[in-house]
Amino acid sequence: MVVTQSADLTRGDRLRGRSALITGASRGIGFAIAESFAMQGADLVLSASSEPGLIKAKNKLIEYGGEVSYLAADVSSAKQIDDLFAFALESHAELDILVNNAGMHIAKPFTEHEMDEFGHLMRVNVFSVFQLMQLAIIHMQKLGRGKIINIASVAGLRESMNSSAYNTSKHAVVGLTKCVALENAKNGINVNAICPGIVETDLIQGVEDKMKAAGMPAEEFRERIISQIPIGRMLKPEEIANIAFFLASSDSDGMNGQTIVI
């Protein structure tokens, strides 16, 4: 665990004085969200499974002048989630924003899933979200304010081939978002979800590698994916980060329990 602070360089002020805990923050969507928050003055607590990735992220984010803390954690472990949240409160007396971004994907026919791997996926994609939200809500109720942003997926709103486990987990995140938002609507706490389509991240690269191993060239896989996207390209992590920043800012104070599809 490390806490680092640098000189104020190119910082905005829309999130100045706010602190955010972001999971899956070392790369991809999570890092893009962390950077968008840092650019607007937020102090950050980053988490991911890999400490080297967190160190690299921290070294970039401290250029914006805020305080950056990080703790490597396995979000499939309830104990490590408890430790992560305790670390966040040790780093900042008040936690204003929670972004549940950590996740994993399994692509295979329904009948080929093993219960152990399904259970692990649910612990990463659902149980960790439930537990961190619960810890954050208890804290934010005392503050009388808070922003919780869950990174779900369009898979949480529809059916997909060979994705029953993943889609189940993202449907759960969408439902959890709506229920917790309703329960806390009068507590000054906003709970919303972002449901991205296909984003150009390491997760997609991993799927490409698996398809290549199965005999499909990466270029063919990519062409098939892009052919199904109306805008003709994959999303960039920064496009999801822009929505997350809106949900973390005061501009979204009247928005609660929503799933934003992008």
pLDDT at 222 > cutoff 80:
no
Which residue among 127, 166, 221, 245 is the active-site one?
A: 166
Give 26's DSSP letter. Answer: S
* 80-94, 113-127, 215-229: range with lowest mean pLDDT: 215-229
Give me 10's structure tokens: 């190119």
Task: Give the residue-averaged pLDDT of 97-123.
Answer: 96
**Residue boundaries of the structural domains of the chain:** 2-199+236-261, 201-234
Long-range contacts of 76-84 (CB under 8 A, 24+ apart): 76/120, 76/123, 76/124, 76/127, 76/128, 78/127, 78/131, 81/128, 81/131, 81/132, 81/135, 82/131, 82/135, 84/21, 84/23, 84/47, 84/132
Task: Give the residue-averaged pLDDT of 1-9.
Answer: 50
Alpha-carbon distance 66 to 62, whole Å?
6
HSE, CB side, 13 Å, CA atoms: give it for residue 128.
34
| pLDDT, position 61 | 98
Answering whether pTM is above 0.95, one says no
* pLDDT one-digit tens code per residue, 27-40: 999 999 999 999 99
* pLDDT one-digit tens code per residue, 197-217: 989 887 677 666 766 777 778
C-beta of residue 237 within 8 angstroms of C-beta of residue 25: no
Could you name the CATH architecture of 2-199+236-261? 3-Layer(aba) Sandwich (3.40)
Cα separations in angstroms, 129 against 173, 183, 207, 220, 238: 7, 16, 23, 34, 22
Asked if 166 is an active-site residue, the reply is: yes
C-beta of residue 62 within 8 angstroms of C-beta of residue 4: yes
